[in-house]
Amino acid sequence: MVTPVLPKSLDSPVQPIKPLNPPLMMAKQVHPPKSQYPLVQTVASIQISKPLNSSSASCGSGTVGSLDSPVQPWKSLDSPLMMAEQVQPPKSQDSLVQMVASMQLSKPLDSSSASTGSGAVGSDLGAAPFDICMGNSKGIFKLNRPLHEINKEKRLRERELSNSAAPPQRLRPGMVLLKNFLKLDDQVEIIKLCRELGVGTGGFYQPGYREGGKLSLRMMCLGKNWDPDSRSYGDIRPFDGAQPPQMPQELTKFVEEAIKASHDFLKQRGKGATEPSVELPQMSPDICIVNFYTTGGKLGLHQDKDEDESSLEKRLPVVSFSLGDTAEFLYGDDRDVDKASKIKLESGDVLIFGGQSRLIFHGVSGIMPKSAPLMVTDKANLRPGRLNLTFRQHKYEP
């Protein structure tokens, strides 16, 4: 009988070969084919590998092996069944498979809201609300500037505003522009408040029309929902049944201060000018449309005439806050871009139009990238773009 030569053990010297007389004993001594050894070596190398400063490597819901425990010696392969059990991948490899699967299936945050062109965010019931700020989104890393740089810019900004602050402007009867009216800290407060409301129920979404067109902005309504398709106000959003958030008192306070400042400015003009309360009637805001324009956002010429008839008859004004990047604002008596007047609305500007100018055509022809005050973007983490709040009084009550 020919004596078989057995392969060496991975960890021990060659043992003397005993004569194989009984057939059963010969069957016990048979080793797995050499082609299986690389797999055993691979499994062994996975078990003994240990990353620096780590006792275990955890990923997802599974842990990749126990890296502190010593390598256990391989048991002798006494039967074909045990041989099959020994060459099976250990449970640690299942975790590796799960890790790869989770990496392939993971979906970036806000992927449904990344596009402002063709994404049907408003009609997607599963879409997460759009976040106007960057610091609270996973996967987005932003290095904050040192505090002394921020404070230095703040002082320079305040000095510039105090030395060369543009005075209020009466653009036309019933239309007043308050330049730099909102202080930097107030702007940050408003942005954070809008962000908090915007990621909740009834928050920011991309509005669209029944035929499939989409507005190149994100919108949130306060007080009542405005539907661009039906051009009417209601208590809920038609596509998801969400109720709009209520108007915060902090915002109402800023609006009242802006109207008072416009009246004070009109009084100072004097010289037979129209009574300020007639040119710009007093208004108590109960609704607001909050729009966020990305750097490519636009809004065509339109009129704000969907409020209650009692409000329109009294010509109660619209009060507009601009935050973030500068916008090129168009306005005029006709829906004609070529005939429209143009002004730049910068972060902190407040525009008020009512009285004779209540139904002017107006729109946004473009956004100027990287024009927002760094003080505002750093402290509020506002995304690149423009945040615009337009306050109105839906119904006039004497």
- Measure the CA angle with vertex 380, ends 378 and 381; round to 5°: 65
Q: How many CB atoms lie within 10 A of CB 26?
A: 12
Nearest to 320 by CA among 259, 271, 361, 372: 259
Coil vs helix vs strand at 113: helix
Q: Is residue 394 annotated as involved in ligand binding?
A: no
Q: What's the token pair of residue 366?
A: 């473009």
**DSSP labels, 174-232:** TEEEETT-S-HHHHHHHHHHHHHHHTSTT--B--B-TTS-B-SSEEEEESSEEETTTTE
Q: Is residue 286 annotated as involved in ligand binding?
A: no
Burial of residue 173, with CB atoms counted within 10 A of its CB: 0-12 exposed, 13-18 middle, 19 or more buried = middle
Chain-centre distance for alpha carbon 282: 36
- Measure the CA angle with vertex 397, ends 285 and 302; round to 5°: 50
Burial of residue 162, with CB atoms counted within 10 A of its CB: 0-12 exposed, 13-18 middle, 19 or more buried = exposed
Residues β-bridged to residue 144: none
- Helix 147-164 to helix 184-198 angle (10° resolution) is 120
Query: Tokens 């109660």 correspond to what residue?
Result: 316
Q: From CA 65, how far away is CA 55, in angstroms rounded?
A: 10
Q: Tell me the backbone φ, ψ of residue 388, rounded to 5 degrees.
A: -130, 125
Q: Is residue 304 annotated as involved in ligand binding?
A: yes
Known binding positions: 302, 304, 362
Known binding positions for Fe cation: 302, 304, 362
